[in-house]
Structure 1
């Protein structure tokens, strides 16, 4: 079916335009509007998709419950092939529970493959905004060409979420968020806008922080525009954490306090993301690495590079560190490494796309120092993964990365110390949505002489838009000139193609 119309449509007699629909109150509604955090969808397969919302009429209440009473609430949901909802293709009722902050995770099943749908919710006499979602192509089929955007690092205090709005304007078919959806730090005087409260530690804190971020209309528009695949990085818990009590954790915590904090962080993450119930946390861990199939065109291997990693070698920061080569140290953990290589070896689709968090290619300075929080701090973990996809004959390995607050495009090399070594894969790194502030127009590649495989750099804020076909992936690096003022236009800073069967970047 064709993409849903951008025209003005009517819900229950109230005209609205675009995906973020104005609140609609039924006659006689007795409670405040509960859909202040918008709607979202995610985890599409060929016949189903997750639908999400969270009831929160007063999102910033300090108890983290969003102004809801202790009672559980029945929430109706509807899916339609049209934005008028004249005919429903799926519907039902979900019980939003107080214990889960009245979050809703519905699996809308029985849908047609490779199709677009509208969805909405009803609760407490109100109707939610309308979202647009879609399903993946049927197994064994390539489906239509599709547009996928990816982003990361949206520090609320650093600026406005204009890049999310521009991503929504592109009307992609799928959005990947690669981490740092929220930040954990306290309010900082003089910021563009302020976090509510101190450094977040408790479950109430994390719930309130998500509510503040998700109250932003530009983020709501991006969620309503397309289904999302999400993985967290560090700031969803704590800066640069690595599966253990950090010696420099802020605030300083005992082992028991750290376990409680991590448990709270992951519970709040699940409550606020369009994840399947199978991805709900258990205690202080959460099962987040997973594969999502997009017909025979692409398979997304979504990694978790925080929960299972060894601590950073030689401490955080850029270091010359021999311990980064120790075979006993892993970034994703040995079980996840084996899972990834097994999936790559199955040749499930034309494009094997790895969604992960931290810089993958080698990025040394002139002295040979690398970022110990990225794969350069886990070189003995990176090498067997790269060699593993070569040994398994993976035709089109493509790494997608966030974290570093700048855009990069990198060729992946069999031997980074040898400029003439074979190119064996490609890495696309999105810049931040806001983190780091406005940035600059600088496109000079840092340490280019030391790293000739790094092909592009930009210090603007924005996202990456890709168009994926059987023959090529085209990547447009999109940027905005300012985030300290709202509403900037987005422009394409640079474009590259990755051709089927030819690893590496082709300039456009």
Structure 2
């Protein structure tokens, strides 16, 4: 660690201490009233004595307006989620500041005649009346249906499944990768089609929401049958801002349908907090301690509104989101967080000429602890496929086929030493079937990962599949304006498409197949779905070929 990095680390540690321990009166004098609202991220613990219990019979409006979700499937358990919100666009969800008991049940059939697990969970006002119920003691590799109950209200039913047993010989796994769903840029039509797919899990790779203002018409959605409240027409900064923004997104029926159809495995990128932030460093010039207050609010709201387990619950401005899932011996998933621990972007966060700063060996995308966790996990892996779901483009991506090319400093190209260490770790662990799943860039890419990106003839060591956006970037086009430059500059780039949609990935013992699914349009309802291209990579012989 360089002296500068050590100083920055010490400063961020002091700022975190400030966030957790400064009292409200002192805080008002230090950072101002606007940031003081973000201080609400430091709420009392769940079950605080001040929160009375609400008789469920007094809930007179449907509390399940935000739908249901499940996530992080294990062989014997799955996480079930909902949020009680009779009036989702109001602060407090239209509920009093009181605890609410929520019943849940899980069945082997859609008609709920074969109940295999049931229980009760408390929706605490401190957690915005969200529920994270872990259904345990389940049989592995089974489809289940689940639902919640509050008083006379019953939620929509969701479909989920458990992971296969450890060490089991799984013949096939079907997953989808999605990312980037700017509400104001279009309808979530892709999710309606995704809900109809035959999948085992969906991996959300970041930018679940955007912090930018949404006007009364919903941006390009141009609502004529509703008017969104004025509090959406500002950037999210406070805990209440982020909570209300999740409510806006989760009232989308297509998003609800996708969550109800499949278990989700989620990780964030930048917009769940702020565009292009790096660790504790904001995009703009606000004081670091003020940004960490905003980050604490954003992280808390993220956990509240996602099907995440208790180990992911944040502690102030920190949240351990990286984690590992297994699907028998077929696949190991190492879900990364490339935003919370990274070094600041070199030369700014845009496209820049690489140089000594971006190539500094001390730079990290993951932080040292997460990097060691990843490499150690590969050393212990017995999976046929090692899949790394993460946020930003991993492969080299030159913008021009000429010597004056530039690289994105926000992607792994701005952290080349970090990327080299990851690829060296995969090689040392004997990982022969590496698949990187990526979001962020609002286009679909398929890359061969090279031992030396500057030498097209070098060995192919893995595959990167980049999922386009659900809505961000509006309708898009099959061939973006820079298509010719990008494909010529990067011979390891096998596919490039700028439409909205998602990617399906099917893993088997013999191969991995990626089907790039694109939607005709999202700026108006009713877009149709098509497969733009399909590629396969054979097991133990990396390299993408058209299917």
Report the TM-score, using the length of structure 2 for normalisation: 0.85
Residue in 2 aligned with 1:36? 65
Match of residue 57, structure 1, among 86, 92, 101: 86
* Cα distance in 2 for residues equivalent to 1:454 and 1:149: 21
Is the 8 Å Cα contact of residues 178 and 356 (structure 1) preserved in structure 2?
yes
Residue in 2 aligned with 1:140? 167
Aligned length: 477
| 1:448 positional shift | 2.2
> Residue 460 in 1 paired to residue 499 in 2?
yes
Q: 1:379-458 residue pairs with structure 2 within 5 A?
A: 379-442=416-479, 444=483, 446-458=485-497
Residue in 2 aligned with 1:203? 239
Residue in 2 aligned with 1:361? 395
> Residue 329 in 1 paired to residue 363 in 2?
yes
Is the 8 Å Cα contact of residues 161 and 483 (structure 1) preserved in structure 2?
yes
Q: CA RMSD in A?
A: 1.6
* Cα distance in 2 for residues equivalent to 1:104 and 1:134: 19
Q: 1:77-476 residue pairs with structure 2 within 5 A?
A: 77-187=104-214, 191-193=219-221, 196-246=232-282, 248-249=283-284, 253-322=286-355, 323-366=357-400, 367-442=404-479, 444=483, 446-476=485-515
| 1:146 positional shift | 2.4
Residue in 2 aligned with 1:11? none
Is the 8 Å Cα contact of residues 221 and 523 (structure 2) preserved in structure 1?
no
| 1:197 positional shift | 2.9
Gaps of 5+ in 2: 1-55, 223-227
* Cα distance in 2 for residues equivalent to 1:327 and 1:30: 57
Is the 8 Å Cα contact of residues 208 and 272 (structure 2) preserved in structure 1?
yes
SS in 1 for 2:386: strand
**Counterparts in 2 of 1:133 and 1:450: CA distance versus 1, 3 Å:** same
Cα-to-partner distance string for 1:286-328 (whole Å, 9 max, x where unaligned): 0100101111110110000000000100001100031111011
Cα-to-partner distance string for 1:193-234 (whole Å, 9 max, x where unaligned): 387231010100000000000000000000001111000000
> Residue 45 in 1 paired to residue 74 in 2?
yes
Identify, as 1 or 2, the structure richer in helix. 2
Is the 8 Å Cα contact of residues 29 and 126 (structure 1) preserved in structure 2?
no
Gaps of 5+ in 1: 1-26
Report the TM-score, using the length of structure 1 for normalisation: 0.92
* Cα distance in 2 for residues equivalent to 1:212 and 1:233: 19
* Cα distance in 1 for residues equivalent to 2:331 and 2:500: 27
Cα-to-partner distance string for 1:174-194 (whole Å, 9 max, x where unaligned): 000000000001135882138
Is the 8 Å Cα contact of residues 536 and 546 (structure 2) preserved in structure 1?
yes
Residue in 1 aligned with 2:519? 480
- In the TM superposition, structure 1's runs of 4+ consecutive aligned residues that sit over 6 Å from their partners are none
* Cα distance in 2 for residues equivalent to 1:495 and 1:375: 25
| 1:236 positional shift | 0.3
* Cα distance in 2 for residues equivalent to 1:187 and 1:37: 18
